Amino acid sequence: MRATNVKAERHIIVSAAVSGALYAAWPDWRMAAASFMAGWAIDMDHVLDYLVEFGARSDWRNFFRSFYDSQYTRIYILFHAWEWLAVLAAAAMLSGWNPWATGLLLGATHHMILDQLSNGVSAAGYSLLWRLSVGFAPDPAFPYKKKRFKSRRARRQGT
């Protein structure tokens, strides 16, 4: 599968559309708002990965291209995990389908599906437990980038 790399603005557009459809079907602003926020806020884990890899004094202009240019030695993306959907589904069900919990579940679900279909990630690549088992190494989860990932040493040496 060729990776198309879903960018933040696409997640915001899709989240707005899904949230609008949710509101049309179940007019509850809380569910729509939670779905919208979860639909794009999951990507905040990329900020955590950037800080771990490059530190707080990094060139923030590089942030948006760093992931797409395969500049990481480890990729954690802790919020990008199918396991969280099971946790959110249990929370929504146990809460009697509370609009906040249900909206979070729906927003996270459409985000994960969009990423899985568009980012060229291996079948297990969005499993947090699987990524942990391979030491969060980027190559197994992101095989389309395998030849492009640079080691931290190579980046420092400018090679």
Query: Cα–Cα distance between 92 and 95 in angstroms, integer?
Result: 5
Predicted TM-score of the model (pTM): 0.81
Tell me if 30 is assigned to some domain.
Answer: yes
Query: Who wins on pLDDT, 1 or 137?
Result: 137
What is the mean predicted confidence (pLDDT) over 114-134? Answer: 90
Tell me if 147 is assigned to some domain.
Answer: yes
Tell me if 116 is assigned to some domain.
Answer: yes
SS3 127: coil
pLDDT value at 5 more than 70: no
pLDDT value at 80 more than 90: yes
pLDDT value at 154 more than 60: no
Tell me if 102 is assigned to some domain.
Answer: yes
Q: What is the pLDDT of residues 15-67, one digit of tens each?
A: 999 999 999 999 999 999 999 999 999 999 988 999 998 888 777 777 877 77
Tell me if 1 is assigned to some domain.
Answer: no
The pLDDT confidence band at residue 118, using thresholds 50, 70 and 90, is: confident
What is the mean predicted confidence (pLDDT) over 133-146? Answer: 81
**pLDDT > 70 in the chain, percent:** 85
- State the CB neighbour count (10 A cutoff) for residue 149: 17
What is the mean predicted confidence (pLDDT) over 80-96? Answer: 97
pLDDT value at 147 more than 60: no
Tell me if 87 is assigned to some domain.
Answer: yes
What is the mean predicted confidence (pLDDT) over 107-113? Answer: 96
Q: What is the mean pLDDT of the chain?
A: 85
pLDDT value at 88 more than 50: yes
Which tokens sit at 30?
A: 């809380």
Domain of residue 95 covers: 8-157
Query: Cα–Cα distance between 47 and 25 in angstroms, integer?
Result: 34
Give which of 52, 50, 106, 115 is closest to 81, Cα–Cα.
115
Tell me if 2 is assigned to some domain.
Answer: no
Total structural domains within the chain: 1
Tell me if 3 is assigned to some domain.
Answer: no
Query: Cα–Cα distance between 79 and 6 in angstroms, integer?
Result: 16
The pLDDT confidence band at residue 3, using thresholds 50, 70 and 90, is: very low
Give which of 130, 98, 108 is closest to 45, Cα–Cα.
108
